[in-house]
Amino acid sequence: MQVTIAAETKLPTPFAEFKLIGFDTESGQEHVVLALGDYQSDEPVLARVHSECLTGDALFSQRCDCGPQLEAAMQKVAKEGRGVIVYLRQEGRGIGLINKLRAYAEQDKGLDTVEANEILGFLPDARDYQVAASILDTLGIKAIRLMTNNPEKLQSLQDAGINVTERVPHHVAGTPHNKHYMATKTKKFGHLL
């Protein structure tokens, strides 16, 4: 997949001042990278590939662990002094915001994440990490230490040609509201929690 750097600017945060790099894709999707330090060196760089979650990242939902994972990744990169966070615009495991809200409504009736997506006619997880591989390649990043608990994400990036030298566990505290969600991630998606 072809990606193009469309814009670059500074993004001051409570953790560090990141370089914010905007990417356009041939499909018209837009993605961003938060980059810090010398991320283009020959040494493997600390990296997170994070899928957009408006409810968790911006609205502080406790139904998932997305917001705390993003914040923890920003803190880890800041502490290390170099790294990248690839922020992919693939809301709701790739089904979009409104469909994610519909899946939430199904979960309110007792279904888990997988069951809710399937009853709506979607794959349990429709995310695609090829664009992340293209973004990393465009940035000249040769090898990464990937912050993830998701073995499928790790395998997908490796299959796309990314040299993942290490899986860095990326655990965050759960809440009473996401216990079932976290159990589903472990049981049905094989996440290493």
* Cα angle for residues 107, 98, 84 (degrees, 5° grid): 95
Q: Is the pLDDT of residue 186 over 70?
A: no
Amino acid at 109: K
Sheet containing strand 83-88, strands side by side: 3-12, 17-25, 30-36, 83-88, 45-51, 143-147, 163-168
Radius of gyration of the chain (CA): 16
Residues that constitute the known binding site for Zn(2+)? 53, 64, 66
Domain ranges within the chain, ordered by starting residue:
3-90+127-189
Instruction: Determine whether 42 is an active site residue.
Output: no
d(CA 62, CA 191): 18
Lowest-confidence region among 37-46, 137-146, 184-193: 184-193
Tell me, yes or no, if 127 is annotated catalytic: yes
Say yes or no to pLDDT of 178 above 60. Answer: no
| 39-67 pLDDT tens trace | 988 899 999 999 999 999 999 999 888 89
Look at residue 180 and tell me whether its pLDDT is greater than 70.
no
Cβ within 8 Å of residue 56, ≥6 positions away: 63, 64, 65, 66, 67, 68, 70
Binding residues for GTP: 48-52, 69, 91-93, 113, 148, 153
CA–CA separation, 178 vs 159, rounded Å? 31
Task: Assign 13 to helix, strand or coil.
Answer: coil
What's the CATH number of domain 3-90+127-189, 1.10.1740.10, 3.40.50.10990, 3.40.50.1820, 1.10.10.10? 3.40.50.10990
Count of residues for the chain? Answer: 193
Given 57, 65, 102, 127, which residue is catalytic?
Answer: 127
At residue 4 the predicted structure's pLDDT band, cuts being 50, 70 and 90, is: very high
Specify the residue for token string 């979607």. 122
Percent of residues, the chain, with pLDDT higher than 70: 89
Give tens-digit pLDDT for 11-42.
999 999 999 999 999 888 999 999 999 998 88
- Residue in this structure with the two tokens 């655990």, named with its chain if needed: 171
Which of 18-32, 66-80, 89-103, 162-176 has the least mean pLDDT? 162-176
The answer, yes or no, to whether residue 188 has pLDDT greater than 60, is no
